[in-house]
Structures are given as C-alpha cells and as structure tokens.
Amino acid sequence: MTLHRQSDDERAPNERPVAAVAPHRLAVTTPAGSGVVPLYLSCDWNVPQPSVRRVVVLIHGRLRNADAYFDLVQQARAAADADSEETLLIAPQFLAAADVDAHRLTPDTLHWEWTGWMGGDAALGPAPLSSFDALDAIVERLARRDVFPSLKTVVIGGHSGGGQVAQRYAVLTRAEERLTSQGVALRYVIANPSSYVYFDTLRPTAEGGFAPFDGAHCPGFNDWKYGLNRLPAYAGAVDGVLGLEDAYARRDVTVLLGRLDCDPEHPALDKSCAAQTQGPHRLARGLAYARYMKLRHPLLSHRTVVVDGFGHDGKGIFCSAQGMAALFDRKGC
C-alpha cells in the first residue's frame, strides 16, 4: 500500500495507517464471534505475576498510536516513582482497516471504521465486536487470581478519543463486577474528551444552567455516543436507562481537563452539532458535564480536576501531579 506524503494528503491525520502495531495479541470472543486486538504489555500476563498490585490500562486517541501512549504511561509511572514490578501497564490498540492492510496483519485482527471504536461501535471485521468487548476481555484476564493473586486496583483511562472510550465504557461496562466481587477497585480516568454521554435531553445553556434541548436544531443530539438513544449492540437489552446512570454515578471516576484546552477551533475537536450542544470546547464541555452530574446526584463522588498549564496534551496531563495521582495514587516527584 502506497503512503502519501502529508503535504499531498488532505485526509485527516487519523485517516492514515499507523506507524506501529503493538506486538502482543488479546483474544476477544463473544457469541457474536471472535478476533484479536493488538496491545502493549509491560510484563508477561501469561504467567503468574504475584507482585502486581495495580494495573493501568491507557487507551490511545484518534491517531490509534498505542506505541506513543505506552511510552507516555511508562514515563508517568517513572515520574510517579511507582514500582514497576507492582504496576502492570497495558495499552490496547483499536485499528482501522487501512492499518490491517498496510501492515499485512492476520485476518483475525479486529478493525473498525476510523473512529467507530471511540463509541463502542461494532468492528467492521472479522466479527462485529465492540472496543468495549476488548476491554471486557482485558478485565476478565486481570480477574484471574491464579495469575494476579495480589491485584488491588485497576485503572482504565484515556486521553482525547481514548477519554471518550473510557467515559462510555464506564457507562455501559458489563465486566466490572468480575473485579469488584474480588475486592479489586476499578477506577476510570477520563482526560480531555470531546464529548460525554448525557442521560436525558438537558444540555448546558449560555447562562451556566441546563435546559431541554430542541432536537429540531440537531435531530441526533441525543443519540449514542452523546445520549442514550440508539445504543450500540454491546449494550444488549438494557434494563432502563436510569439503571445505567445510577451505576455510572456510583463508579470511581476522575475527569482531567487541561486549563488551556479551550480552543473552539482545535483541529481534533468534535464539531458536530451533537457535540456543540455540550459546549464550545473541551474545557467548557467537561466543566458543564461535572455540573450536570452534580445537579442530578448531589452526593456524587466523581472528581473533575482542571490541570493548569496544559491544553490538549496527553503527556502533560498524565505526567502532572494530578494525572499521576489519578493513575497511580502518587503525587509525583
């Protein structure tokens, strides 16, 4: 497959094959079929790891550059002075069809539309599995006490597009109980996503409050991944949307927002009408969503932290004192 020079290619940066594919493979199997997802691992999880007490799963952004995110989370772990033997790092990679072709990957490699994996959409092939199914498979592996007898905490986080995955997965996850039933704490760390899942038709107003949004101006504003209409197949037969909201409100969630991530024209910002109903830029959308959840759940324990000095910068956010506290419960050096 011929790769064009960037100056000759008008496609968005994410609509090109990735430079690197992760070396390990995760088998994902559901009644809908099976496939594999590439991932980076900081240790071999096929043999017992009695020293591992914490696992951090970090999800890449729209560029699908899991190699960069694996490097980032290793830097954050080192800066936080977290013990490498006690802390397993995982960076899954959700590929597009162009990646499979360019790297001549095996036919069982799961691949999505360029950004469909961000909302948990079904893969294009080899089976209609969700990125959430892959996260379930990771959780199920981590729940094996014969491999991880000392595991205490699992963190699932992401920045930008990966933050969207983490937030949506925290709403719909079907696997969390596999860990929590064994006394393993599960935390979701959501950094600088372009949008969030709202649980009704309220959207922020210019005055800082909330009001029902007139769908005539944007008919799909409340469809998944922005709301709970037209849920993905992964959701299955949901027993009422109220149950999804209550479960999400009870989960351990930290939202990290860059103080400078406030450019309404940022090239990677979701500018769809559905996203625009949530605010003009990422910082505004994140702060509005924090107010929205607190309005609906006054005793909410979710944390929304604004990180000074950084914009749409995954490394800056996760290597900040606030980012290291969220991922590793450390203040850093």
Bridging pattern class, strands 303-307 and 87-92: unpaired
Containing 202, the helix (H) or strand (E) segment is strand 202-204
Cα–Cα distance, 169 to 118 (Å, whole number): 10
Domain membership of residue 207 (yes or no) is yes
Question: Which residues 6+ apart lie within 8 Å of 53 measured at CB?
Answer: 86, 87, 150, 151, 152, 153
Closest CA to 70 of 96, 95, 103, 92: 92
The secondary structure of residue 251, as a DSSP letter, is S
Q: What is the number of domains present in the chain?
A: 1
* Region 161-171 average pLDDT: 98
pLDDT digits (tens, 9 = 90+) for 273-307: 999 999 999 999 999 999 999 999 999 999 999 99
| pLDDT score of 8 more than 50 | no
Cα–Cα distance, 26 to 18 (Å, whole number): 19
Question: Which residues 6+ apart lie within 8 Å of 226 measured at CB?
Answer: 195, 196, 197, 198, 220, 274, 275, 277, 278
Give the ranges where the chain is alpha helix by DSSP (H). 66-79, 97-102, 131-142, 161-172, 176-180, 241-250, 273-276, 282-296, 314-318, 321-328
* Region 67-73 average pLDDT: 98
pLDDT of residue 218: 96
Domain membership of residue 96 (yes or no) is yes
The pair of three-digit structure tokens given for residue 140, joined into one six-digit string = 């199920």
* Region 132-161 average pLDDT: 98
Domain membership of residue 10 (yes or no) is no
Domain membership of residue 11 (yes or no) is no
Q: What is the CATH number of the domain that holds 53?
A: 3.40.50.1820
Q: Model-level pTM?
A: 0.95
Is residue 157 classed as helix, strand or coil in its secondary structure? Answer: strand
Domain membership of residue 164 (yes or no) is yes
Range of the domain at 41: 22-328
